[in-house]
Structure formats: C-alpha cells, structure tokens
Amino acid sequence: METSKPNIIFFMTDQQRWDCIGKFNSHIKTPTLDKLAERGIVYSQAVCQAPMCVPSRSSMMFGYYPSQLGVRTNHGGLYDEKLLPSDPLPELMRKAGYQTAGFGKTHWNHGLKTDNPSARGFEVRAVGLARDSGHYEEGAVMMGDVEPEGLRQYYEETKSYGGGEENANGYIGCTSELPMHLHRDGWVAEQCLEFLDEGLDPQRPLFLYLSFLKPHAGFNVPKQFEDLYDINDIPDIPQPPWEDENGTHLAATDEVSESSRQQYLEKKQVWSEMTPEERKRTTLRYWANCSWLDHYFGRALEKLESQGRLDNALIVFVSDHGEMLGERAYRFSKYCLYDSSVRVPMILSGSYIPEPLRGTIDERPAELVDLVPTLAGVAGSPRNPQLPGLDLLGARQRAGTFCEFHGKGYSNKLSVHSAPSLMWRKKEWKLIMYLPGAIEDAIGRVDRFQGELYHLTDDPNEWNNLYDDEAYSAIRERMTAELLMHLACVWAKGPFFYDRHGLEALENAAQ
C-alpha cells in the first residue's frame, strides 16, 4: 500500500446540531465523537453554506457556494456529468490513487433526471433506499433490492410521518420495534462493516465515506439508545418573548410560501398544547438518534483500527446543517439562517493531526466548502484556485462565514422562488440581509432590502434584532461591506474564469 498518503475516513450525519456532541453538551452521549474531539481539532465556528440538504451537500462535495453551482434548494441538483464545474470529492480522491467507498446518503438528486446516474468517483457504493427513489447511483447496492421486506417494514413503521418524515408525528416519533439492521441507517452501517471485513484494497489508501440519514426526523429510535437518557434530565426549549415571527427573513419566507407557513403552524399547534414532558420526549429522541449513529461510527473505527488503517489516517466528522428543534415558537427542521440551523459540528482527528493540535478548539471562521481544499491537500491533489474554501489545516483565515438561503423552493406549480437571504457571521456578531418577496420581480425593488443584526455573545438565541439601532450602525456597515466584498471576490474567481493566461493570476496570488 502507498503509505505516504493517509487513509481518509469521512463520517457524516444529516441535520445534527453543532451542540449535539458531548464536547459542547454534557447531556449528549456521543463517546466516539468525544474521543475524536480529544484526539483532533474541533472547529467551533463552522457553518454550512445552505440550511437544507441538497444545496449544502452539493456545495460541500464540489467546493463551491450554492449560488455558484446553481443548486439553491432541495429541488435542485447537478444533472449533467459533462457540465460539472469541478471534480466532486470522491472523484478527487479516486484520481489521487485512493480506493473510494461510499455508504449512505449523498443526495446529489441527479437520479431524478438520469436513468443510470454516476457514482461520481465512488468505486464501492451502498444506499439504504429503493432503486426507484431517485438516489440510485451506478453500481450501487440498494437496500430495496437486497432487503426489500426490511425496507417495507421500515416504511410501515414511519408511514404516518409525512414527507421527509418531518410532520408532527415524525418529530414525536416512537420507540422503534424494528431490529436495527432493518433501519435504513442500520442497513448502511452493516454494509460498511462488511466491506471493511472483506473489501479493502491492500495496495491503495482508503477514502471511506459513511453518511447517515439521521438524526433528521423521524424519531423512531431503537430502545437501547432511548434508554441512555432520563427524561427528567432533558431541558425544555427556551421560547422567545413573542407569539409570531415578525420583521425577519423567516417571516418573509412564510409570506412567500403558504405551504411552508402551514407546515409550521401545524407543528406549532401540536407543540403549544403539549406538556413539558411531551416536548422533552422529542429532544430525548433526537439526542438518542445522535447516540445511535455515534455507536456505528465507533464500530467502524474499531474495524479500521484492527485493519491497521488508523495508523496513518485523517478522520473527518461533519453534518450538513442543524435543526431548530422547537426554538423560535416551536420551529422545527432547518430552512433559516439562525445558528441552530446553520452551525454544524466539524472535527478533524486521527494520527494525521500533529500532536500539538490534538484536543484543541479552532475558533477561526470555518465552512463546509473548506473540506474539499483541505482533503485535496492531504491527498496530494493539485489545488483548485477557483474554489472559495480554505485549507482547514493551513494558516489562512477569512473574516467571517457565509451562508445563503433561497427559500424552500418549488413544491408545486403555484410556488414561487424566494429572493435570497444572505448571512455573514463572526463569533460575536451575525448579519442577515434579505429582500422580502419572490426573486422574479426582485430587481425593481432591491432598495427595499431589510436586515437583521445579532450580538451572538449577549443574545445567543438571536431574539434581539439590532439592525435598525443606530448605536450599532458602525458594526452593521462594516459587516455589510465585508459580506459584499467577500461575495464579489468569490464570484470573480469561479466556477468559470476566462483569461488568456488561464488561471495563472489566481495561482500566483496564492503562492
């Protein structure tokens, strides 16, 4: 095996809050992730680039912002392999000489318009869904093909949970009666463990991608992980001093999308009538989901250690976005630019991390788009100077972090696409700029933009909007200028840069 390149182990969850690892929340039981934190670097200020699955994951995998890719909502996707703006992460790893094995969710969405969609660099692939789900990738082993009865039983248990398992029943959840291997994530985990026993190429370094569908709702949790928690220890969710959202980008989203507002109001009615213990049960099951997936990460690491693959390894843990979990008057899911939605857990760990950096917290602004340049550098691949991301293991840093939100997207032919909301975040301050209404007629009313400004240190719940307070005008204007110049510089570089000297000017500047 080529020993100079470290094995790269990439663990990922779906919709896991930044504070749902034991490092930041003493209530949470995640011993595997806690151990990774003890032996690695925790990026405490990391954010996603879009607060929903498809644009966030596409952005992370290609290394560009959602607006650069054109994938802005869960109804988007890059469908044409001939028009991809860059190599996605697994293809970068394959070209760098890695054996590439992917287990679980990618959510490319390209199967919706392609009969035999590419695995985009994965040589080994398993997906815990049916072949006709829109998530099949070329050569993938699908749960619906090899365990159809198990998948049927899973859907039977969650049949009342609604689309995406995110209605009120999905968030209330249940104690699952299914064996763990018949859950979609359980099946994926078992496929991964079997591969580690039988499928490793001894001649090549390994890029292993293990990505789960949870802790995203629904909350049908195996009993042994529910039993890790005592409901008397679960805090209730603090609520703001208002009944209805007003004067925020979230309120503007509700105005544009009646379906989005109705989904919120349905949950709000259910949760406002619950007892505190009933509300705590939802939090308990969300945390139990986190513990369950942590258990599988631990099993995978045990296998890798027994194979000697951790002697020279970089281990990544990250999630695609957060979860509101009942905050802001019983908001659930994501679809906003508040911290519980946009901040993500991010850890780089393993023997590859220099000894002095193990067990440290890096408070520099970090983004999911930083993972492609970081891992490409570790793998020895050429740096792409058009990408907006930075090397997380390097010395450079940006002034703040960026996230963009374009509404929930089309749900039917009567839906409209929202005008964008943009976030610029520092450890102490957050700016959100937004234009109410739809994107179609936005050009004629750009002078009607609105803003939010939060002092995160004093107001971590983001309840007190200081945007119009002239006492903070200097901070507001500085944050606005930084946001605009950041985007201007990012969009000026890529994904297309036509110059008679090619990319030389970008490459030379990075020397």
Q: How far is CA 27 from CA 278, 283, 385, 389, in A?
A: 18, 11, 42, 33
Specify the pairing of strand 313-319 against strand 141-142.
Answer: unpaired
d(CA 462, CA 248): 11
Cis bond leading into 495, ω under 30°?
yes
Q: Is the dihedral of CA 99, 315, 295, 15 positive or negative?
A: negative
Helices 184-198/148-157 angle, 10° precision? 150
d(CA 105, CA 72): 18
Bridge partners (DSSP) of residue 454 are 430
d(CA 475, CA 210): 41
Q: Give 435's contacts (C-beta < 8 A, 6+ positions apart).
A: 252, 419, 420, 421, 442, 445, 446, 448, 449, 450
Q: Give 207: exposed, middle or buried? Use CB within 10 Å, 0-12, 13-18, 19+.
A: buried
Q: For the chain, what is the radius of gyration of the CA atoms?
A: 22
Predicted local confidence at residue 1, as pLDDT = 45
Predicted local confidence at residue 353, as pLDDT = 98
Q: Give 348's contacts (C-beta < 8 A, 6+ positions apart).
A: 40, 41, 43, 314, 315, 316, 374, 392, 393
Both ends of the chain: CA-CA distance in Å? 32
At residue 72, φ and ψ (nearest 5 deg) are -110, -20
Of 94, 129, 98, the closest CA to residue 108 belongs to 129
SS (H, E, C) 376-435: HHHHCCCCCCCCCCCCCCCCCCCCCEEEEECCCCCCCCCCCCECCEEEEECCCEEEEEEC
d(CA 61, CA 239): 35
- CA dihedral (149, 155, 157, 158) in degrees, to 10, reads 170
DSSP 139: T
Give CATH for domain 42-509. 3.40.720.10
- What is the chain's pLDDT, residue by residue, as a tens digit (511 residues)? 445 899 999 999 999 999 999 989 999 999 999 999 999 999 999 999 999 999 999 999 999 999 999 999 999 999 999 999 999 999 999 999 999 999 999 999 998 888 889 999 999 999 999 999 999 999 999 999 999 999 999 999 999 999 999 999 999 999 999 999 999 999 999 999 999 999 999 999 999 999 999 999 999 999 999 999 999 999 999 999 998 999 999 999 999 888 888 999 999 999 999 999 999 999 999 999 999 999 999 999 999 999 999 999 999 999 999 999 999 999 999 999 999 999 999 999 999 999 999 999 999 999 999 999 999 999 999 999 999 999 999 999 999 999 999 998 766 665 678 999 999 999 999 999 999 999 988 999 999 999 999 999 999 999 999 999 999 999 999 999 999 999 999 999 989 888 888 999 888 765 4
Half-sphere exposure in the Cβ direction for 103 (13 Å, CA): 23
Q: Are the CB atoms for 494 and 389 separated by under 8 Å?
A: no
Q: Are the CB atoms for 353 and 39 separated by under 8 Å?
A: yes
Dmax (CA) for the chain in angstroms is 67
Bridge partners (DSSP) of residue 46 are 366
Q: Are the CB atoms for 329 and 268 separated by under 8 Å?
A: yes
Bridge partners (DSSP) of residue 486 are none
Q: Are the CB atoms for 357 and 41 separated by under 8 Å?
A: yes
User: What are the residue boundaries of the structural domains of the chain, listed by start?
Assistant: 42-509
d(CA 404, CA 424): 9
- Displacement of CA 126 from its chain's centroid (Å): 20
d(CA 468, CA 465): 8
Bridge partners (DSSP) of residue 12 are 211, 318
